[in-house]
Amino acid sequence: MQPNFQTMSKKELRSYLLAHRDDDSAFYAYADRVYDSVATVEAAVFEWLKRQNPHQEIIKAPDKCLRFLITDKDEKVKRINVHIINSSIADYKTLLEIKIQDINSDSQKNKVDLFVVFVSENCKNALNLKRDITELHSNSVTKSARVVGYVDSDGKFKEI
């Protein structure tokens, strides 16, 4: 008998999938859940950006997930990259430093004005991430980085 994946939490569904790797239905249910989480974050960050920049044009970057472009009145374009950080990873501070180095390298290579938005998995982790980014304010990327929220256990975006 097939379990009801709709009633499982994301964590329960992931555990089930790991225990039943050949269950295609579980895989697709989990993939849908992940896609829905990313779409939720993307829509929420877009709304947050509109509130922060009420007189500027904001568009989703073509063919890019979790990337937006803001054009100011002088036609200067700023790229907004959104990163979802799961701080349950054993040494996420190292991962965060590597991610920031990669973002910095990309912005220098592409010569873009960049603003980085971080979203975490829950309120506590979002607040820890905010603290850690503040401690890492050593380059232009971290100075323009902002932790804006988290995704709660029901998959809903919450601002901090």
Taking only the tens place, the pLDDT of each residue in 85-142 is 765 555 666 777 777 777 777 766 665 566 667 777 778 888 887 877 777 766 555 6
| Closest-CA residue to 117 (of 153, 74, 89, 78) | 78
Q: Is the pTM of this model over 0.85?
A: no
Q: Residue 2: its pLDDT value, please?
A: 84
Least confident of 8-12, 35-39, 68-72, 101-105: 101-105
Q: Residue 137: its pLDDT value, please?
A: 63
Helix 10-19 with 24-52: angle, nearest 10 deg? 150
SS3 67: strand
Mean pLDDT of 78-82: 82
